[in-house]
Amino acid sequence: MGGDFAPANEVAGAVECLRQCDNRFHVVLVGDEQKIREELKKTKSGGLDFSIVHAPEVIDMHDSPVVAIKTKPNSSLVKGITLHKEGTGDGFVSTGNTGAVTAASTLILGRIPGVSRPTVAAIFPSETGPTLIVDAGAVSDCKPHFLFEFGVMGSIYSEYMFKKKNPRVGLLNIGEEESKGNELAKETFKYISERKGKFNFVGNIEGRDILKGHVDVVVCDGFVGNVLLKFAESIPGFLKYQFKKFAAKNIINTLIMGSLRGSLKEIFRDMDYTEFGGIPLLGVNGVTIIGHGGSPPKAIRNMLFRAEEVVQYKINQHIQEKLQEHS
């Protein structure tokens, strides 16, 4: 119920997902039952494998995450994660308040043994395929061992979800040299280097290396990662504006842009967050997928598929085994 268009897009996306996968799994719709049923009437939901759990309260974008979790136990967010904790569901998907989803997942589900802090893993396109950014906003103030764990979790996610063998992990910095960066960057470089073999650490990388695909996983603190994520989200809109401005100059430009429409659609597809749906919160003792507040039904559908994959590939089990192996 926390998304910008809830519950319309959530219901439409769930219906679309179950139709596409032919009821391969069960979806529990958590929220205001009356509003959910009103939206279901607008869709072809007959014969689909879903149920409804009534949750009358809503945590909105202006609520303080920790306070809201305590004061709104019957919110769709808290109730949904609690159902996951109790085993009613194998994963939790939400387009609600990101801070609240992160806090509630951490408090209710707990952390995987060996994980100090969970991390939000954002997915960027690059010349060599999907690149993972960890952390993209969960932890602003980090310690070296937090970033090391982010690298472990990001490496495992990239290996199993994106089929990248021995993923290359880089530490985001202002230069490639070991001596570059602030104290956190220098200390983290040393910390990870002393633990060689834990994952494929290739050293420091710069911002220009991300889209080139020089690494598969980019490690940084949540402050930098979130700024990077929000900046990246603005690029497609800016490029579309520039193309429209170019086309409006004269009829020749209009014809040129018209002839390129198909190619441009293909290019923008790689930059479209709805293709991946949502981003995982790695490190919690469960499966949480966080979506953009304005997610359309397509994104909701793909968020559900991502949650299914995280469960199937046993990402949490692999993370726990790797961290215990090198503790």
Which CATH number fits the domain that encloses residue 58? 3.40.718.10
Residue 175 lies in a domain: no
Residue 275 lies in a domain: no
Residue 174 lies in a domain: no
Q: Which range of residues forms the domain containing residue 90? A: 1-115+283-327
pLDDT < 70 positions in the chain: 326-327
> What pLDDT sits at residue 177?
93
Residue 99 lies in a domain: yes
Do 97 and 59 form a contact (C-beta atoms < 8 A)?
yes
Cβ-Cβ contacts under 8 Å for 230 (sequence gap 6 or more): none
**280 closest CA partner among 104, 125, 148, 154:** 154
Please give the tally of structural domains in the chain: 1
Measured from the Cβ of residue 120, the count of other Cβ atoms closer than 10 Å reads 26
Residue 254 lies in a domain: no
> What pLDDT sits at residue 326?
61
Q: Is the backbone of residue 234 left (phi > 0), alpha (psi -120 to 50) or beta? A: alpha
Q: What's the pTM? A: 0.91
Residue 154 lies in a domain: no
> What pLDDT sits at residue 157?
97
Cα separation, 141 vs 133, in Å, equals 16
**168 closest CA partner among 193, 202, 196, 136:** 202
Residue 108 lies in a domain: yes
Residue 38 tokens, joined: 């009103």
Residue 38 lies in a domain: yes
Cα separation, 231 vs 108, in Å, equals 31
Phi then psi for residue 30, to 5 deg, are -110, 120
Measured from the Cβ of residue 294, the count of other Cβ atoms closer than 10 Å reads 12
Distances (CA, A) of 271 to 1, 17, 205, 207: 26, 22, 22, 17
